[in-house]
Structure 1
Amino acid sequence: MTSHPLRLPGFRLLFIGRTASTLGDAVVPAALAIAITRATGSSGALALVLGCAMVPRLLLLPVGGVVGDRFNPRLVALATDLVRALAQLMVGLELLGGHPSLPHIAAASAAGGVASAFAMPTASPLVAATVRGELRLRANALLGTATGAARLGGPALAGLLVYTAGPGWAFVVDGASFLLSAALLTRLTVEHVPQDRRSLRRDLAEGWSEVRSRDWYWTSLIAHGVWNGASAVLLTLGPLIAATRLGGDGAWVALTQAGAVGLLVGSLIAGRLRPRRPVLAGNLALALYGLPLLALAVPAPAPVAVAAQAVALTGLGFLNPVWATVVQQDFPARTLARVTSYDWLLSLAAAPLGYVLAPLAAEAWGSRVPLLVAAGLVTLVCAGTAAVPGVRRHGMRPAADTGPGTAASPAPEQVTGRPPARARGQEQEETRARVEA
């Protein structure tokens, strides 16, 4: 039996492509902020561009899940990579030309948001189709490790590109990373079983029924949404607290880098452990996010806040691959993209609430109140899922049991790095990293 997922040709192609595009995406946020600020001098313009990506992503995620289940997820992932590559290259060329147009950048951002709504639900089906059995947790942990490494190195690469060649090149690099991912996807073939065509409403309802039928799943999604809302509170109020009470902007940089290290360490731990109660362990790990929120509310000394953030993001890094593996194990392959889309929707929708409510609450009562409320909520809700019978009892299946998520997957020899001669003409695939930090 293959002892490492990277020895599987299909997953190896997937891993290289996703790692490249994740690193490219990690470069963009800092470059985008600098580019928009230089071009317009307005924080409102940056909010507009970010909103143009977020709104269509949230609105279209459930539809993206339906498309990912109806059609070959590999083809969906390939098409969305090409769209995102084109969008990022257009922004890069606008910036390199020296006269960037805000409407053009906003339109490209919206196109990227639409594409990501269709790409994100294909992540889990791709991993489920290319890796089977006990290797699946290690495969998800490897993808999580790549994400952590990208978040650690991305800002440094962004700074190097911005201050040596200009922010436009950061977008060119990101566009090139999506092109590389698309090129690798063309070499991957996974059999896909077509489904009966039904109405969009019926497909959406079936996916939601799968979500509601598992108490461990929907209650955990509530906890993950609260985590994202609490994260938005920290990201909104944290930079000013670091600058004014913890010693300056360097404290915030240290805190964010500590979080990236924690994310990486958590993914490495997940790849080496096989928790008996994975859902319970992952949700309890998420409850650790109360620590940095409490540290900023006090505020604690900078080293304590930095250490708290590292511990909290270690919990997230642990949860992500464990959660992805459990979902791939428990849900039928034919509904996996739709289930994943609801997962992303509930997680991402909570973040804007935090971004909006945190500054309003801070203005009314001071920053300590929203930080303490967020700390209490995330600790109580994430740890409180232990009261749910399904969360307490859910266990990782034995390695020999591939589960319903793989029951419809092809045998290992059918997942290859090169497309074979095709008698059936169907395929499947992609990647993911669950709760957004």
Structure 2
Amino acid sequence: MTHPLRIRAFRLLFIGRTISSVGDAVVPTALAIAVTQATGSAAALATVLGCAMLPRLLLLPIGGVVADRWDARRVAVASDLVRCLCQLVVGLELLGGRPDLVHLAATAALGGAASAFAMPTRMALVAGTVDGPARLKANALTGSATALIQLCGPALAGLLIYGVGAGWAFVLDSASFLVSASMLAVIRVRRTPIARRTMLADLAEGWSEVRSRGWYWSSLVAHSVWNGAAAVLATLGPLVAARRLGGDGAWIVVLEAGAVGLTVGSVLAGRLTPRRPVLVGNLGLASYALPLVLLALAAPVPLLVGGYAVAMGALGFLNPVWQTTVQQHIPAHVLARVTSYDWLLSLAATPVGYALTPVAASAWGTSAPLLIAAVLVAGSCLATAAFPDVRRLTATGRPGAPTGAVGDPDSDEAAGVAAADVTEEVA
């Protein structure tokens, strides 16, 4: 089996994504500090974040249709260029010293809309550059690199913000999107053209593919609950740490442990091949109940650190395994649309968790919502084992996977092919 990094197309895709992740890792911290310093208002930050989230949620299904219709690679390039421009505008405005909230909200909305078209392309790009047997390792490599960057992201953000200013964090992110677009522009990605129909027909076909697979939709329900539970933990974790665990430093240690666990899980996913990948991955996700319960009980920090590291390790393991399974079992011509519904359900659960948690905590205290979330996430993830499709789905079957290898044309041995000849391959 050819190592994914020996495939030129994936290597460039991997480099572009990794560099882009560096910029993305520093922006959340930079945005929070920049908006807070400029306005002194938490509501202003919530407005900017909401302006990014709303168009992303509304446009995700359409982004999936567009990626399936008009080539995931070209859609990803266009999205990267739009986000490059948005981050550059924000960076220059911050460097100018007088940021305008309306401008920040508008660029956040445009960037959120662009991301709605980029996110459904991710699985399709890997599936179109790496052949089946190497996809797990390719997904694991991407997951490991992203997790490592997230581990270092807050420190890098701090260096940029307090060293040269928050605006440079956005300039860095802008440059990273430009690099990613440049890498994508010169690679060849295999694709399966689809018949031109109405937008509603294409949306319905994508949803039909989701609904017809018990292993897929049942897992999506569990994954959505997991994201909602993560929002509960993210909302109450800092508060509980400050009040009952000795201060903000304890929460920072917990988050760093989670980043380490995420990295280790991603690495293990590239080395282990579970026979029943979805079953194993979903059962592992149930471990997220552990840090929720420990936080509800205000357990000692070392226990909470260990529990959160285990839970995030399970997530790091699941992500590449899930992506590979979807790439192998979902037909190539609907992969972006199916992926868009995956993202939609996952993202929609997060703001729900953010909205309901403060209300529940105000009514019942912080422990109750944490324990409720623990029961829901453990129950939903373990319940997927009751579905025969989940238990029977193995890593060996590959219905719907595209045929033919893509390793040879873009491997190191063929690196002399002119750039103009490797921009696209249509299956």
Instruction: Tell me the TM-score range normalised by the shorter chain.
Output: over 0.9
- Which residue pairs with 1:310 in the alignment? 309
- Which residue pairs with 2:363 in the alignment? 364
Backbone CA RMSD of aligned residues: 1.6
CA distance in 2, matches of 1:122, 1:270: 22
- Which residue pairs with 1:413 in the alignment? 408
Q: Which letter does structure 1 place at the counterpart of 2:196? A: R
- Which residue pairs with 2:206 in the alignment? 207
Q: Which runs of 5+ in 1 are unaligned?
A: 429-437
CA distance in 2, matches of 1:121, 1:288: 27
SS in 1 for 2:196: coil
The verdict on how the C-alpha distance between 1:128 and 1:191 changes in structure 2, with shifts beyond 3 A counting, is closer
Counterpart mapping for 1:35-434 below 5 A = 35-397=34-396, 403-407=399-403, 411-415=406-410, 426-427=424-425
CA distance in 2, matches of 1:22, 1:34: 19
- Which residue pairs with 1:433 in the alignment? none
Spell out, residue by residue over 1:337-384, the C-alpha distance to the aligned partner (whole angstroms, 9 max, x if none). Answer: 000000000111001110000010000010000000000100011011
Residue 427 of structure 1: CA displacement? 4.6
CA distance in 1, matches of 2:274, 2:418: 36
CA distance in 2, matches of 1:116, 1:197: 24
Is the contact made by 1:279 and 1:394 (CA closer than 8 Å) also made in structure 2?
A: yes
Residue 186 of structure 1: CA displacement? 1.4
Q: Which letter does structure 2 place at the counterpart of 1:36? A: V
SS in 1 for 2:394: coil
Hey, which bits of structure 1, 4+ residues long, moved more than 6 A? none
CA distance in 2, matches of 1:419, 1:345: 39
Residue 420 of structure 1: CA displacement? 5.5
The verdict on how the C-alpha distance between 1:195 and 1:410 changes in structure 2, with shifts beyond 3 A counting, is farther
CA distance in 1, matches of 2:188, 2:322: 26
Worse-superposed segment, 180-189 or 32-41: 180-189
Residue 189 of structure 1: CA displacement? 1.7
Q: Which letter does structure 2 place at the counterpart of 1:286? A: L
CA distance in 2, matches of 1:328, 1:56: 26
SS in 1 for 2:119: helix
Q: Which letter does structure 2 place at the counterpart of 1:277? A: R
> Aligned pair count?
423
Residue 421 of structure 1: CA displacement? 5.4
SS in 2 for 1:195: coil
Residue 23 of structure 1: CA displacement? 1.4
Question: Kindly, what percent of the aligned residue pairs are identical?
Answer: 63
Residue 44 of structure 1: CA displacement? 0.2
The verdict on how the C-alpha distance between 1:309 and 1:8 changes in structure 2, with shifts beyond 3 A counting, is same
> Could you state the TM-score of these two structures normalised by the residue count of structure 2?
0.96
SS in 2 for 1:405: coil
Q: Which letter does structure 2 place at the counterpart of 1:404? A: G
Q: Which letter does structure 1 place at the counterpart of 2:349? A: A
CA distance in 1, matches of 2:225, 2:289: 11
Residue 174 of structure 1: CA displacement? 0.6
